[in-house]
Amino acid sequence: MHKYLFLLTALSVLALATACDHGSSSKNQGKLGYDCLPDGTCDDPWTCVQGICRNVSTNNVNNDIVDVIDVIDDVDGDANNQTPVCGNGVMEAGEACDGTDFGTATCVSLGFEGGTLSCSAGCLQILTYQCSTGQGSTATPPAEIVSTGTGGLLLRGTVLTPAGVLNPGEVLVINEYITCVAASCATEAGASTATVIETHGIISAGLIDAHNHQSYNFFPEWAPDPPQLFGNRYEWADNTQYEEFILPYSKHRSSNTHFCPGSKWAELRCMAHGTTTMQGQPSASGSCINWGVRNADGYHNCGYDHMTGTIASVRDIDDAMAATYMGYFTQAVEPITRFHVHMAEGISGNYITDEFDSFAGRDPRANRHAGTSLLYNGTSVLIHSVPLTESQLQEVLSTNSKIVWSPSSNMVLYGVTAPIQRILQLGITVSLAPDWTLSGEDDMLAEMRFARNYGVTQGIPELTSQKIWEMSTWMAAEVVGLQVHVGRLEAGYKADIAVFGRTGTNPYDALIDSTATDVRLVLINGVGFYGDTYLQAATARNDYCENLDGCGVNKYLCTQDSPDGINRTNETYADIHTQLYNILEGIGYPADEQYGRGDELLPLFTCQ
């Protein structure tokens, strides 16, 4: 992963790194920027926040977190008032690293098996994306078409099911449905006339991205200058650098001229990384996205549109709005079964820690639905949920509410993330999602690697690679309310399938190790949208697919329905790429929209 933003933690890794630099972390426990004391406290005046001592100022009306690095105890004897120079290749007081100087920190000392550390812009974070967990995997030989049939597909390989691993296993697809998942499907109806493919890979339900802002996902990462953490989502949203960064899109975000190519690019990137369903926060008329990846918000072709949501603060929901939502939940015909909200995204300021109680009907202000909890009958999808307390988590569990965990984006923006270990211990239904490319990982596979590394560094035994896969497949399907249609390799389910060309001791690790290069085949509704070129004739959904270089491997990508398609279904990959390049560059737009940023377009493939 190429991002500066791909960090395991903003402050916890800083604490580990500086502790390693000074020899023994126990010397600095309780001090600003270091581990909390064993009893969960810190030296005065610091406050323990998710295991790290931070400066939560009580003199700040917003209770914003302000980390004053230059007051860290000077155990080396260097002058605390000396300003560090980032980029001189020497780690100085107040820096976690500089260039290749990490003190005594290594991937091994940070809990990994091996690999190479990197240093972030600003010298404030050690980046561990090149560290390995010791669960190594290798690429497998290309898939083989064993026999060509007259209808259906029979896939052979290592099959991941909610009940466990089938190795060897088979998955039979007839039309748009899975009809058999077993060690052998040879006796099932349709098997004798199906095209048989020995995948030499891992066969999984297609990954499910349970929360993203898809129409923004042609942007690369946004990095504030100088690097900083925020207290909550309202702070960075008001940052002038951020507003300028997204201006090529935000100036027309409600127009399909921008929403459609941005959203379709996000869907193409999903396909290239094994994702077949996305909850994408559409911000404009969405008929142009009714073609490829399932959109959990609508256009999923799995029954009626069962989901609604709001991106505004839940503290702004008044009595009338709450009554409307409750009416949606309880209506006899086609009730809303999922209500997604951004819940407590951040750690401090702007009443962020009051959001949960407000949503639960305990807001003391007038006209804020007091006594009416919107945590109703399993409908709530609580995105982020960073500072939830034990009693609030218990309420999430008791109301069968769901949580979406976005660790990479949370750590980049706030330096902390939701209490995932406790969430898993309680058995709350939780999914994994990258949020968006501006602050989160660029795709689900990268987010899964981030989560795995987070579990290693934080010592979370519950966060296994298998659990991460579950959070990205069948648990994610529960979160978005499509659990009877997708997310499982099981007879009767839609044939949304991803095949990954890797192998290893642990198949879940091998899948997580995969990049776009390793994604061998992606089926949606039983037909191929993306895959290795030599599988195109046997699997592609139509004759209009394009051939691309997928990081050194020839791939096919089926973007266009037909040259005569309506609602933009006649667009090719090249058409969408050109539209986005022109938006970023300013080609064909007025003088005040000449941005000259076409080279910033996020590539389709994440290769490394």
Cβ atoms of 452 and 463 closer than 8 Å: yes
Of residues 476, 524, 549, 530, the one with CA closest to residue 273: 530
Cβ atoms of 325 and 314 closer than 8 Å: no
Angle between helices 12-21 and 444-458 (to 10 degrees): 50
209-480: what CATH class? alpha beta
CA distances to 359, 411, 447, 518 from 435, in Å: 21, 12, 10, 23
Percent of the chain with pLDDT over 90: 74
Place of tokens 């972390």: 25
Question: Comparing 125-139, 155-169, 349-363, 565-579, which segment has the lowest mean pLDDT?
Answer: 125-139
> Is residue 58 very low, low, confident or very high in pLDDT (cuts 50, 70, 90)?
very low
CATH superfamily of 137-206+489-557: Urease, subunit C, domain 1 (2.30.40.10)
Place of tokens 């100088």: 226
CA 503 from chain centre, in angstroms, equals: 23
pLDDT for res 438: 97
CA 221 from chain centre, in angstroms, equals: 13
CA separation for the pair 448, 441 (Å, rounded): 9
CA separation for the pair 486, 302 (Å, rounded): 9
Place of tokens 């791939």: 555
Cβ atoms of 402 and 211 closer than 8 Å: no
pLDDT for res 172: 98
Question: What digits encode the pLDDT tens for the residues 313-366?
Answer: 999 999 999 999 999 999 999 999 999 999 999 999 999 999 999 999 999 999
Of residues 30 and 492, the one with the higher pLDDT is 492
**Structure-token pair, residue 508:** 């879940």
**Neighbouring C-beta atoms of residue 50, cutoff 10 Å:** 19
Sign of CA dihedral 595, 598, 603, 608: negative
CA separation for the pair 147, 538 (Å, rounded): 10
Inform me whether the pLDDT recorded for 68 exceeds 50: no
Strand, helix or coil for residue 554: strand
Cβ atoms of 226 and 184 closer than 8 Å: no
CA dihedral 110, 115, 121, 125 (to 10 degrees): 0
Measured distance between the N- and C-terminal CA atoms of the chain, rounded to whole angstroms? 6
CA separation for the pair 516, 23 (Å, rounded): 40
CB contact set of 503 (below 8 Å; sequence gap of 6+): 137, 138, 140, 158, 200, 201, 202, 510
Inform me whether the pLDDT recorded for 35 exceeds 80: no
What does R_g of the chain's alpha carbons equal in angstroms? 24
pLDDT for res 193: 97
**Structure-token pair, residue 95:** 């820096």
Place of tokens 């009306």: 61
Strand, helix or coil for residue 171: strand
Q: Is the peptide bond before 168 cis (omega within 30 degrees of 0)?
A: yes
pLDDT for res 120: 66
CA separation for the pair 303, 290 (Å, rounded): 14
Of residues 412, 457, 450, the one with CA closest to residue 432: 450
Question: Comparing 22-36, 416-430, 554-568, 593-607, which segment has the lowest mean pLDDT?
Answer: 22-36
Question: What digits encode the pLDDT tens for the residues 443-496?
Answer: 999 999 999 999 999 999 999 999 999 999 999 999 999 999 999 999 999 999
CA separation for the pair 359, 36 (Å, rounded): 31
Mean pLDDT of all residues belonging to the chain:
87
Residue extent(s) of CATH 3.20.20.140 domains in the chain: 209-480
CA distances to 218, 248, 261, 266, 597 from 601, in Å: 6, 11, 12, 12, 8
Of residues 86 and 42, the one with the higher pLDDT is 86
pLDDT for res 111: 60
**Structure-token pair, residue 11:** 């402050």
**Structure-token pair, residue 328:** 């949606």
pLDDT for res 358: 98
Question: What digits encode the pLDDT tens for the residues 174-196?
Answer: 999 999 999 999 999 999 999 99
CA separation for the pair 454, 281 (Å, rounded): 26
What is the average per-residue pLDDT within 541-560? 95
Helix or strand holding residue 115 (H, E): strand 114-115
- Pairing state between β 131-132 and 114-115: antiparallel
> Is residue 74 very low, low, confident or very high in pLDDT (cuts 50, 70, 90)?
very low
Inform me whether the pLDDT recorded for 15 exceeds 70: no
Strand, helix or coil for residue 33: coil
Residue extent(s) of CATH 2.30.40.10 domains in the chain: 137-206+489-557
> Is residue 294 very low, low, confident or very high in pLDDT (cuts 50, 70, 90)?
very high
- Which residues are registered as beta bridge partners of 419? none
Q: What is the pTM of this model?
A: 0.84
pLDDT for res 604: 95
- Which residues are registered as beta bridge partners of 114? 132
Of residues 151, 248, 164, 223, the one with CA closest to residue 193: 151
Q: Characterise 369 by phi-psi region: left (phi > 0), alpha (psi -120 to 50), beta (else).
A: left
Q: What is the DSSP letter of 35?
A: B
- Which residues are registered as beta bridge partners of 309? 340
